[in-house]
Amino acid sequence: MGLKKLVVDFEVCRKCTDCVIKCSFPFHPVNDGSLTLREIIAWQVVCRRCNQPGCVPSCPTEALKKREDGLIERSNTLCISCKSCTIGCPFGTIFPELVPYLTTGCDYCRNRLVEDEKPLCVQSCPPGAIEYREIKEKENVTAVSPDTVAGIATSWQKEKK
């Protein structure tokens, strides 16, 4: 008996969202295994492996790269969900509804900052929990990422009774 494989019919798959609803981790519904699987299949099976792929230069953040074997690879941490690659693909084989354009890293709500709005987490969290501001020179902070993220370090204190 041959090795069993998952077979995805994209025409049927694009019209249904049942697995998207059913296939998620219990405490993190955005972490969707079926969408990840469909993305892998889309890049490996459906992609035409163009000599000069239009999707790669159409990406404003350079999230797409062409590998030596001709396959296109997408970096989740660079992707900003603009879907420019779907427009740049001359064959229309990058289906926006099948590829999970979810940025796993924080982009600091750059689009909101341009509009002089606070990042969404700052706006929705309790006051002081998350702030978007300059760090004072003598403030007790720990840089997580020198250009973007810092944490205020509070020393451990025994609970008062």
Residue 128: give the domain boundaries. 110-152
Distance between start and end Cα atoms, the chain:
69
Residue pLDDT, tens place only, 92-104: 777 666 555 554 4
CATH number of the domain to which 29 belongs:
3.30.70
Q: Are residues 14 and 62 in the same domain?
A: yes
Residue 105 domain-assigned (yes or no): no
Q: What is the count of structural domains for the chain?
A: 2
Tokens (6 digits) for 80? 């900003």
Which pLDDT tens digit goes with each residue over 128-140? 777 777 766 666 5
Looking at the domain assignment, is residue 59 inside a domain?
A: yes
Q: Residue 104 domain-assigned?
A: no
Indicate yes or no: pTM above 0.75. Answer: no
Last residue of a domain, one of 58, 88, 118: 88
**Which three-class secondary structure string do you get for 80-117?**
CCCCHHHHHCCCCCCCCCCCCCCCCCCCCCHHHHHCCC
Length of the chain: 161
Say whether both 61 and 14 belong to one domain: yes
